[in-house]
Structure 1
Amino acid sequence: MRTYEMVVILDPSVDERTVSGTFEKLVQVVPAEGGTVDNVDVWGKRKFAYEIDKKSEGIYIVLTFTAEPATAKELDRQLGLNESVLRTKLMRVDETKTAGAAQPAADESN
C-alpha cells in the first residue's frame, strides 16, 4: 500500500457547510477497497489564477489516504465523473523524503 495526497476542487455553488459530509460519501471507495482515509482538510473557497469552466473560485479539499494504486486510480476516476468536481490532482507521497525530513527534527531536539 502507498500513501497518496489528492487535491480536489469543487464547484463553488456547493454549500460549504455540507462539503465534508458530501465529500466523505465520495471517498468511500478507499475503505471499501481496504485502504484508509488518513486526513480530510477542507480549505474552503479560494480564487483561481485563471477561470476553470467559467468559474473564478472553487472549494479546495486536501485528502490524504493510504491505498493500493488501483484504488487511487478508481477514486480519481469516480471524482472525475462527479459534476460538482472541477479538478483533481493525485500525488503519491514519497515515503523516503517524509522519513528523512522527520529524522533531522528529532536530532535537533537533543
Structure 2
Amino acid sequence: MNKRKARVVIISLYGSCLIACLAEVLAIFNGWGNLSGFRAVWTVVFFLLFWHWIYYESDSQEFDRPYNFGLSINTFWFIYVPWYFISTRGGKGVLTMLGFLLLFWLPFIVGLFR
C-alpha cells in the first residue's frame, strides 16, 4: 500500500516540477518579471512532497525506520537524507539524490534564461 502512495507522491513531484518549469517559461515569454513568491511556494511544495516520498518509500523498502524518523528528516535533513539514500541504495543512492537535487533546481535553471 505504501509503495502505491510513494508512486503517487513521486508522480506529483514530477508534475509539480513540470508546472514550475512551465510557469518560468511563461514568465520569460510574457515578461511577468519577478516570480519570487512562486519560487517560495515551489520550494515548500517540493520539500513537502519529497518528505512524504521518503516516508512512504522507506516503508516499501523494508528499511528499519528508527522511532524518530520523521523528526530526523525534518530537523537534520542535510545529514539524514544522504545517509538514507546511501544505506538503502548504495552507490545508486548518490545518483538518486543528485536526481532529486536536479529536479528541485530545474525550474530555477529554466528561469535563468531571461
| TM-score, length of structure 2 as denominator length | 0.29
TM-score by length of 1: 0.30
Q: Greater strand share, 1 or 2?
A: 1
> Which structure shows the higher helix fraction?
2
